[in-house]
Amino acid sequence: MDISAGVIAAQTANAGMPPLKAQASELEFFYGDVQALKRVSMPVAANRVTALIGPSGCGKSTFLRCFNRMHDLYDGSRYSGQIVFQPDGIDILDRSVDPIEVRMRIGMVFQKPNPFPKSIFENVAYGLRVRGERSRRVMAEKVEMALRDASLWDEVSDRLDDMAFNLSGGQQQRLCIARALATEPELMLFDEPTSALDPIATANIEELIHRLKDKVTILIVTHNMQQAARVSDYTAFMYLGELVEFGDTNLIFTNPKSKRTEDYITGRYG
Amino acid sequence: MNTVPADIRPDRFAHKALRHWGERLIEGALFLAAFSAVAVTVAIVGVLFYESLSFFEHVPLRDFLTDTQWTIMFSDKHFGVAPLLAGTLTTTGVALLLAVPVGTVTAIYLSEFASHRVRETVKPALEMLAGIPTVVFGYFALLMVTPALQWFMPNLPGFNMLGPGLVIGIMIIPYVSSVAEDAMRAVPMHMREGSYAMGATRLQTALKVVMPAATSGVVAAYILGISRAVGETMVVAVAAGQQPNFTFDPRESGATITAFIVQVALGDLPHGSLEYQSIFAVGLVLVLLTLFFNVLGHLVRKRFREAY
Amino acid sequence: MAYDAQAVRRLVVRGKQWDKVFVIAGLLCLMVGVLTLALLLAGLIHDGAGRLNWEFFSNFPSRRAERAGILSAMVGSSLTMLVTALAAIPLGIAAGVYLEEYARRNWVTEIIEINVTNLAGVPSIVYGLLALSLFVYGMGFGQSILSAGLTLALLILPVIIVSTREAIRAIPGTIREGAYALGSTRWQTVRDHVVPYSTGGILTGVIIGLARAIGETAPIITIGALTFIAFLPPAPLGGEFPFISFEWLRSPFTVMPIQMFNWLSRPQAAFQENAAAAGVVLVVMTLLMNAAAIWLRARYRKRIKW
């Protein structure tokens, strides 16, 4: 199937969507013999927040982790399909594309905050070091910018050399966001980022995500429907490995096209 | 399958060849380090066979296996390995007679009865016991245990296999008890609860539920103990005497395979002489012996492996 | 069947009595080890304390028991430990890192793992035989500190590999994923995260391994460490160019446990006292090292809470 940049532009114009950052096509994923993704195709709009919702086991995290080639770290699974990344028009799932390169342009925040056992500064600076940055001055600037973007600078600017473990859960998660932002990624993947946090920390991070979309495209997996409704521009509902419905968040939550979507949203199952 | 023609593909997604080969090199170096474990085993087997082959060119295998005298250091040379084997088996037997019951009871007690505090105090003590150099245990056997035994058994010679055997037993108690205890503690709580709920006492639960469930690990503990005992050198070299003696009576003196190797090594060892080669031949017997017990243990464990 | 309260009560009481009996048996068994430790230390100190003076540590062995000291043995032990550490630590850590971070689940990996387990159970004297044939004669290193150090390195290699693996396994997978998600390569993740965070556990294993190596006698005797050495190996650092010499690697030598063994083998009571004194030194050294390892392990577990 030939998907060039021009074709995508035409498709999105047809669908009434803004320019795309990425387009997943016919994604299939197998853990051993179990099929976790069944021919999933979905656009990811640039500088927008797209949410993936669905009951547990529906494949949303599996789908998310395809974007930064996380599955390559583990044996026992195989996948096929394409994710075409813009503006290059390259299929990042292609074997000839180095996963390291992909991860340099796509950042990830995990479900449970996972700061390194290092200082706050070193956590945020690690991505820069990996990219070969040596200048202490440049690192300090980028670290401050990232911490500001993550709404954490005011709370930690005076103790950048403190161990990251001393921060609260919400602060640690914002640190992980800062860590991912420091390398100026084009796409950020959030895998249920607030499920381990209290309501106040959750609100902080939702507000942060809302602000960040000016700088970066965001794809977020959440099991909390209200969060999806609050935070995202587009929502995709997945069920048992299939993409059941995709569309404008407002439309999905007020007027879903599929009965399965409606059942999930109204809480008939979860 | 790339969809954009190669000449306009941006470099940012290009395959960084240098990084790739650097990673490969590092992985290769680390692999060699890990493979060294295999290399050492191959070297041990190779060396033992190579040197033993020379030995068996001079000494018929038949004599080696059937002669009941080992007098390689004397002018009337006999090459029967039986006395050395008897020495090894006797001391190991005595050691096990002590270590198996004491180690097992210790393990059951620590796993099923002891409070957290007792366990935290005793386990470091046992670990320290395991850390004491074996030559010091040799001292213990020669100058403290044997005189004590002689108090009970006045005819006991200064060099005997009973004292060292007991000391080896004490030495391997920490190994036996800690492996057995780990196996018992791995038995899930719900198995015990099923027993307690029926009114069983702690001891009954320990003996009828926990131990059978932990059989695989307990057997492993015993095998570990046997291997340790068979390979023990210094205690017997110091306290059992150095005269090969074809007997299974621990009240007599004797020499084990390991003590013999030490004795020869202490003297002059001209490279390539018969004495030099003999230590490899008996070393081979020693390795085959420990291999035998290890394989036996492995088979028994497979038979009793419990899947929780 | 009617519920016979009397019979049941008798059963319960008897069961509890057996429990009590077993507790006593258990404590007695524990006492075996603890008592041995106490008696051993008491005996050593009683026999040897008289000998523990400055001269003991600064003299060479001598035919006259009162003048014999452990200087050459201590220096020999220290230098041998140096070689052992330099050889075993990098090799063991590298092997552990490979097995945990790089190895795939195939038959080659299984063979390596089987061998590591196997080698841990090989009697130490067999390592001496290997070294005698391979290092002393095969490679021509001679009956030297180099051979001894390498032999002990092979001996404690499994200990270091296993403790490296355990330390690495304690690191949660999300930390690795966090590093990879930022674009690090496998080596960068190992170098910047896996090894630094597991240092505590690895160090514990190294100390335990070295503590074992210090007390090993059989393999060193087998490769021909002499038991009467009244001189020191040539010093590694000298006053003339090139300032660092490696002569000491090839020098004849002795180590502490062999010195103790030598004295123990002499019938005179005076030498037995020397042996006891040497035993005290050995036991104190190994106990201190093991205690340090245990303390390190506990402290390390508390510091990094995963």
- pLDDT recorded at residue C68: 78
Those residues with Cβ within 8 angstroms of residue B187's Cβ, 6 or more apart along the chain or in another chain:
B209, B210, B213, B214, B308
Q: Which of A33-47, B6-20, B285-299, C135-149 has the highest mean pLDDT?
A: A33-47
Average pLDDT score over residue span B122-133: 88
Using the beta-carbon criterion (under 8 Å), do C180 and A70 form an inter-chain contact? yes
With bands split at pLDDT 50, 70 and 90, how would you rate the model's confidence at C136? confident
With bands split at pLDDT 50, 70 and 90, how would you rate the model's confidence at C226? low
Residue A192 to chain B, least CA–CA distance (Å): 28
Interface of C with B in 50-69 (CB under 8 A): none
Using the beta-carbon criterion (under 8 Å), do B44 and C124 form an inter-chain contact? no
Cβ-based contacts of C116 with chain B (< 8 Å): 37
The CATH architecture that domain A5-265 belongs to is 3-Layer(aba) Sandwich (3.40)
Residue B300 to chain C, least CA–CA distance (Å): 17
- pLDDT recorded at residue B103: 94
pLDDT at C99 over 60: yes
- pLDDT recorded at residue C243: 57
Nearest to B13 among A2, A4, A101 (CB): A101
Using the beta-carbon criterion (under 8 Å), do B10 and A5 form an inter-chain contact? no
pLDDT at B241 over 70: yes
Mean pLDDT check: name the lowest of B242-256, C125-139, C164-178: B242-256
Those residues with Cβ within 8 angstroms of residue C248's Cβ, 6 or more apart along the chain or in another chain:
C79, C145, C233, C234, C235, C236
- If you average pLDDT over every residue of chain C, what do you get? 87
Q: What percent of chain B has pLDDT over 90?
A: 41
Using the beta-carbon criterion (under 8 Å), do B3 and A89 form an inter-chain contact? yes
Angle formed by the axes of helices C145-169 and C199-214, to 10°? 150
Using the beta-carbon criterion (under 8 Å), do A180 and C181 form an inter-chain contact? yes
Residue A155 to chain B, least CA–CA distance (Å): 36
- pLDDT recorded at residue B41: 93
**Of C240, C134, C287, the residue nearest B43 (C-alpha):** C134
Interface of B with C in 58-97 (CB under 8 A): none
Structure tokens at B249: 């009576």
DSSP H helices, chain C, are: 5-48, 54-58, 71-97, 107-120, 124-131, 145-169, 173-181, 186-189, 195-197, 199-214, 218-222, 256-264, 269-303
- If you average pLDDT over every residue of chain B, what do you get? 86
Q: Choose between C63 and C7: higher pLDDT.
A: C7
**Hey, how many other C-beta atoms are within 10 angstroms of the C-beta on B148?**
12
Residue by residue, DSSP assigns A9-25 as HHHHHHHT---EEEEEE
Strand order in the sheet with A234-239: A106-109, A187-191, A217-221, A49-53, A234-239, A242-248
- pLDDT recorded at residue A236: 94
- pLDDT recorded at residue A2: 42
**Beta carbons of A215 and A131 less than 8 angstroms apart:** no
A196 secondary structure, DSSP code: T
Average pLDDT score over residue span C206-211: 93
pLDDT at B1 over 50: no
- Within 13 Å, how many C-alpha atoms sit on residue A156's CB side? 31
Low-confidence ranges of chain A (pLDDT < 50): 1-7, 9-10, 13-14
With bands split at pLDDT 50, 70 and 90, how would you rate the model's confidence at B4? very low
Average pLDDT score over residue span B238-265: 88
Mean pLDDT check: name the lowest of A3-12, A110-119, C3-12, C138-147: A3-12
pTM: 0.86
Query: What is this model's ipTM?
Result: 0.87
pLDDT at B113 over 80: yes
Nearest to C287 among B128, B200, B261 (CB): B128
- pLDDT recorded at residue A1: 38
Cβ-based contacts of A180 with chain C (< 8 Å): 181-182
Using the beta-carbon criterion (under 8 Å), do B231 and C129 form an inter-chain contact? no
Q: End-to-end alpha-carbon separation of chain A, Å?
A: 36
Residue by residue, DSSP assigns B166-201 as HHHHHHHHHHHHHHHHHHHHTS-HHHHHHHHTTT--
Give A72-109 pLDDT, tens digit per residue: 988 888 999 999 998 888 999 998 888 998 999 999 99
Structure tokens at B250: 């621990």
Residue B19 sits at the chain C interface (C-beta within 8 Å): yes
- pLDDT recorded at residue B10: 42
Residue C182 sits at the chain A interface (C-beta within 8 Å): yes
Point out which residues pair with A239 in neighbouring strands. Answer: A242
- pLDDT recorded at residue C228: 61
CB pairs under 8 A between A and C: 60
Count of all residues that appear for chain C in the document: 306
With bands split at pLDDT 50, 70 and 90, how would you rate the model's confidence at B115? confident
Structure tokens at C240: 């003339």
Task: Map out the domains of chain A as residue ranges.
Answer: 5-265
Nearest to A96 among B15, B16, B19 (CB): B15
With bands split at pLDDT 50, 70 and 90, how would you rate the model's confidence at B252? confident
pLDDT at B11 over 50: no
- pLDDT recorded at residue A115: 93
How far, in Å, CA of A175 to CA of A173, rounded?
5
pLDDT at C225 over 90: no
- Interface partners of chain B (CB pairs < 8 Å, 3 or more) are A, C
